[in-house]
Amino acid sequence: MNAASAGHRVTTRHAQAIYPFMASGGLGGRGTYIGRDANGGAFCFDPWVLYDDGVLDDPNAIVIGKLGQGKSALVKTLLWRMLLFGRRAFVLDVKREYGALCASVGVKPVSLTPGGGVRLNPLSARPEEHAQIELLRAIATTALGEALNQVESSVLREALRTVRARETEPTLPLITAVMFNPSAEMAARLQTSQEQLAADGRRAALALQDLCEGPLKGLFDGPTSPGIDLDSRLLVLDLHAVRDSPAVGILMACATAWMSAQFARMAGRPGRERLINVADESWKIIQHGGLGEWFQSNFKLARQFGVMNLVVLHKLGDLQAAGDAGSRAARIAEGLIADASTRVIYHQDESQVGATRELLGLSETEAQLLTELRPGQALWRVGSRSFIVQHQRSRIEHALTDTDTGMRINAR
Ligand SMILES: Nc1ncnc2c1ncn2[C@@H]1O[C@H](COP(=O)(O)OP(=O)(O)OP(=O)(O)O)[C@@H](O)[C@H]1O
Ligand SMILES: [Mg+2]
C-alpha cells in the first residue's frame, strides 16, 4: 500500500473514540421505530426495554436543538407510535401544536383560557383527603406567592374537612367561604375562637378568593367542566393562553396530583401501563414557581413508576437563563440533565456547541457534528452510545407534525 492511499488501521473499539457512530450496530429491533441511523439500519427506541437491558440508567430524555429542526415532530410521532402500543401520555403544550395529534387519537386537548369555558377543579385530581390537603396547600402557596405559616396550613386543612363533610365535591370557592366564616366546630378543633380563626386564615382566604374571582376567574372555581376526560390515554394540557400567568403554578400543582394519581394506579398494575410525560417548549414557563420542582420530582420518580419524562428545549442556555447561574432553576436544570440518560440533540449553532458539549459530556467529534445536522437529523446519546438518526415520518405523521403552515405564502 503506498503512503498516499494508506489508511489508518485500528480496531473498531478504538476508532469509535474518533468516530463514535461507525460500529454502534443499532439498539436492536425492539421498540418504537424512529428512523434510519447513519449506517442505513432501522433505529428503534424504547426506554423501558433499554432500561431493562442495562443500556439506560433511567427512562428520561431531553430533546434539544435550534428552532424548526423537527424536535416537536419527533415527540409527536413518538407519542403517536407509542400510543398504538397501549402507552399513555401527558403533554404540556405551550405552543398549542398538539391539536392534530389529539384529533387523530380521538381526544380533545384541555385548553385553559381565562373565560374560555373550560374549568378544572384542582381538588378533583385526587379524591383522598390527605392528597386534597396537600394539593390545597400547594395551590394556596402558589396563589400567595410565598410559604404558608403553620396556622394557615391548619386552617386550610380544617376548611377542607368541613367542606368535604357538607358537599359531594370540594371546590375552591366553597373552601374560601368556610375560611372567611369558620364554623364553631372548626374553631373548637383548632382550640381558638371563630373570630380568631377567620383572622388567622384571612391571608390565605384572600389569595384563594383572588384566584377564583381575579384574572383567572372561571379556570379553577368550580367542578371540572363536563366532557373533560382526565383519564384519557392522551391528555394534552394546552397552556398557551396562560403561559405567562400564575395559572401555570396552579396547573402544575394539579398536574402533580394527577400524576401521583396515575402513579398510584400504575403501581397497582406493574408492567402494564407506561406513561410518557412530555413538556414541549417548557423553558418558557420554567420560571414559574413549582414547575422546575415538578420536573425534578418526576425525573426522580421515573424509574420507580416506569414513566418516561421527555423535555424539549431550544438550547441548554434556556434552562440556565431561567435563573441566574447557580440559582435554583440552574441547579434544577443540571439535575434534570444528569437524570436523563437519553439526549437527542438536533442542529445547534456554533455559539451553543461549547456549552452543549460541556453539559452533556459529548466528545469533540460529536460536538463538531452538531452544526452540520440537517432538519430531522439528530445525534442520539443513549446511555454511553451514540447514533446519528434521520427521523422518518409517514404521510399521516407529516400532517400531524407540520408546523410550517403559517410560513407558507398561500397559507389560509
Ligand atoms: N423528520 C423530519 N425531516 C425533515 N423535516 C422535518 C422532520 N420533522 C420535521 N420537519 C420539518 O421541520 C418543521 C419544524 O418542525 P418542528 O415544529 O417539529 O420543529 P421544532 O424543532 O419543534 O421547532 P421549534 O423549535 O420552533 O418548536 C416541520 O414543519 C417540518 O416541515
Ligand atoms: Mg417545537
* pLDDT tens digits, 224-252: 888 887 778 899 988 888 887 777 777 77
Q: Atom 4 in ligand 1: which residue has the minimum CA distance? A: 376
Do the domain assignments include residue 118? no
Q: Hey, CA dihedral for 344, 54, 337, 272, is it positive or negative?
A: positive
**Count of the separate structural domains present in the chain:** 2
Q: Are 395 and 265 in a shared domain?
A: yes
Q: Atom 31 in ligand 1: which residue has the minimum CA distance? A: 402
Q: Are 285 and 372 in a shared domain?
A: yes
CB 67 less than 6 A from any atom of ligand 1: yes
Q: Atom 7 in ligand 1: which residue has the minimum CA distance? A: 376
CB 65 less than 6 A from any atom of ligand 1: yes
* 85, 288 Cβ separation under 8 angstroms: no
What is the C-alpha separation between 329 and 291, in angstroms, rounded?
10
Q: Are 300 and 389 in a shared domain?
A: yes
Q: Atom 14 in ligand 1: which residue has the minimum CA distance? A: 68
Q: What is the pLDDT of residue 158?
A: 97
What is the C-alpha separation between 188 and 161, in angstroms, rounded?
14
Q: What is the pLDDT of residue 411?
A: 37
**Ligand 1 centroid, distance to 151 Cα (angstroms):** 51
Q: What is the pLDDT of residue 10?
A: 55
Q: Are 188 and 93 in a shared domain?
A: no
Among 43, 63, 67, 69, which residue has the most ligand 1 atoms within 8 Å of its CB, making it the best to mutate?
Answer: 69
CB 347 less than 6 A from any atom of ligand 1: no
Q: Which of 59, 96, 53, 57 is nearest to 78 (CA)?
A: 59
Among 72, 278, 377, which residue has the most ligand 1 atoms within 8 Å of its CB, making it the best to mutate?
Answer: 72
Other beta carbons within 10 angstroms of residue 398's beta carbon come to 11
CB 400 less than 6 A from any atom of ligand 1: no
Q: Which residues of the chain have pLDDT under 70?
A: 1-25, 256-258, 261-262, 264-272, 282-292, 317-330, 405-412
Last residue of a domain, one of 178, 213, 248: 213
Do the domain assignments include residue 1? no
C-alpha dihedral (323, 341, 276, 285), degrees to nearest 10: 10
Q: Are 240 and 338 in a shared domain?
A: yes
Q: Hey, CA dihedral for 351, 352, 355, 358, is it positive or negative?
A: negative
Among 43, 63, 66, 71, which residue has the most ligand 1 atoms within 8 Å of its CB, making it the best to mutate?
Answer: 71
Distances 126 to 123, 131, 133 between C-alpha atoms, Å: 6, 6, 10
Q: Are 209 and 271 in a shared domain?
A: no
CB 376 less than 6 A from any atom of ligand 1: yes
Q: Atom 23 in ligand 1: which residue has the minimum CA distance? A: 68
What is the C-alpha separation between 66 and 69, in angstroms, rounded?
6
Q: Atom 2 in ligand 1: which residue has the minimum CA distance? A: 376
Do the domain assignments include residue 47? yes
Distances 199 to 128, 179, 180 between C-alpha atoms, Å: 28, 9, 8
Do the domain assignments include residue 168? yes
Q: What is the pLDDT of residue 266?
A: 67
Do the domain assignments include residue 286? yes
Task: List the domain range (segments joined by +) for residue 151.
Answer: 125-213
Q: Are 332 and 356 in a shared domain?
A: yes
Q: Are 170 and 299 in a shared domain?
A: no
Q: Encode pLDDT of 76-98 as tens digits.
A: 999 999 998 889 999 988 889 99
* 224, 121 Cβ separation under 8 angstroms: yes
Do the domain assignments include residue 225? no
Do the domain assignments include residue 255? yes
**Ligand 2 centroid, distance to 110 Cα (angstroms):** 19
CB 315 less than 6 A from any atom of ligand 1: no
Q: Which three cell numbers stand for residue 147?
A: 410559604
CB 69 less than 6 A from any atom of ligand 1: yes
Q: Are 148 and 104 in a shared domain?
A: no
Which residues, at least 6 apart from 262, have a Cβ–Cβ distance to it below 8 Å?
A: 88, 90, 275
Q: Are 256 and 198 in a shared domain?
A: no
Q: Are 73 and 94 in a shared domain?
A: yes
Q: Are 181 and 292 in a shared domain?
A: no
Do the domain assignments include residue 392? yes
CB 73 less than 6 A from any atom of ligand 1: yes
- Kindly report the CATH number assigned to the domain that includes residue 364: 3.40.50.300
Question: pTM for this structure?
Answer: 0.82
Last residue of a domain, one of 213, 248, 276: 213
Q: What is the pLDDT of residue 185?
A: 96
Last residue of a domain, one of 182, 213, 244: 213
